[in-house]
Structure 1
Amino acid sequence: MTDTHYIIDILILLAAAVVAVPLFQRLGLGAVLGFLVAGAAVGPWGFGFIDAVEEIRHLAEFGVVFLLFIIGIELKPARLWIMRRSVFGLGTVQLLVTGTLLTLGAMLLGLPLRTALIIGFGLALSSTAFGLQILSDKGELGTGYGRTAFAILLLQDLAIVPMMALLPLLATPELSLTEDVELAALESVGIIIGVFILGRLLIRPLLQLVAGSRRNPEIFTATAI
């Protein structure tokens, strides 16, 4: 795909969203459904305005990443501490119970344990982007069940790190399942510690330095990019 075609596809997506999202919001169906219908309409199985799905998918992944960044920026540590029981209690129970039941169901269908684990705990995860967007559109993020849903989604996001570390190990038949879990735990702890140290020693001083240069907004923009 050339740069021109890529830009044209982006403009088509934006135009479809501008038309569909306000319409669906006015109908009370929510912005998420509007985005889905807009994408289906202009995609290869709709009117066919966009057929290079793989290239556009990278743009969608960036959008989800930016949404999670915004959620993280707006998340106050004090609020997270207050929600700790819901996050690490209810969230852990939901993930383990749902993942275990789905794993058992996959094994009943004849799948091996490693494959069943991947399918079960993969399906136990929800879409943070969809869930929070729906709650935000309806103004329900601050309600009791909205905070509970947010806590569960947050725990699922945190669980992605050990689950992604475990995934390639499950594909190695030479290792036992116990060794898989031990290696995944070590890798996850190492990644979390590395990210924490990097944020404390490098990212925070850099952002403080950039924030101090208020007379040069271009520096802030360049750093963000």
Structure 2
Amino acid sequence: MSLAESWDRYAVGSTPRRAENANGDTTWLNWTQYADHGPNEALLGPVAGRRVLELGSGSGSNLAHLVTLGASGLGVDIAPAREAVARERWGDLPGLEFRTVEATAFLSRTDRTFDVVLSIFGAVWFVDPETLLPLIRARMAAGGILAFSHLPAGSQRPRPGRAGMRHDHSPSTWERLLTGHGFTGASASVIDPPEGRTVGTMLVRAVAP
């Protein structure tokens, strides 16, 4: 089974995001694996008028939220089922598009630049940073923001393929990797889980100078 087929099978079995969050909002950005927990899009700064790329866009809900705030958004995901779900739910939203393509393949071929690149439990967790980070950096506008989240090192969560495909790094290692690939202001930390849960969320941010 190919990697795309594995992810597609995983996608088909995923539970869709609910229609509203606890505040009654119909769109929102969620960095963590827990509903109604953690920071919002403020981590990215103002997004109106900015070009946003999401690597591993899933059902498109996080990216759609940024588009409702005035951004233009492109989401790429390796699983065809993800694009189908995203288009069904968000296809009528102007300024938003989705493509089925592997992240490094897209970044290697596109000539577009982006002001914001995000990955929420997405490609940054699963692609070797020595390969992916230079590709991201090359497609980012000056002053652009890269932000991503994933489970902390040592956490367990079923995913397609081998567990070793995940790139679980400590905050200090992420900061070193980002700085080494030309990013500035790199910061990484683990968001504490909500009460009653034990696993936090790694959240990383850096700037393309």
* TM, length-normalised to structure 1: 0.21
Which has the larger strand fraction?
A: 2
When normalised by structure 2's length, the TM-score is 0.22
Bigger helix share: 1
Q: Which has the larger radius of gyration?
A: 1
Q: Whose RCO is larger (CA < 8 A, sep 6+)?
A: 2
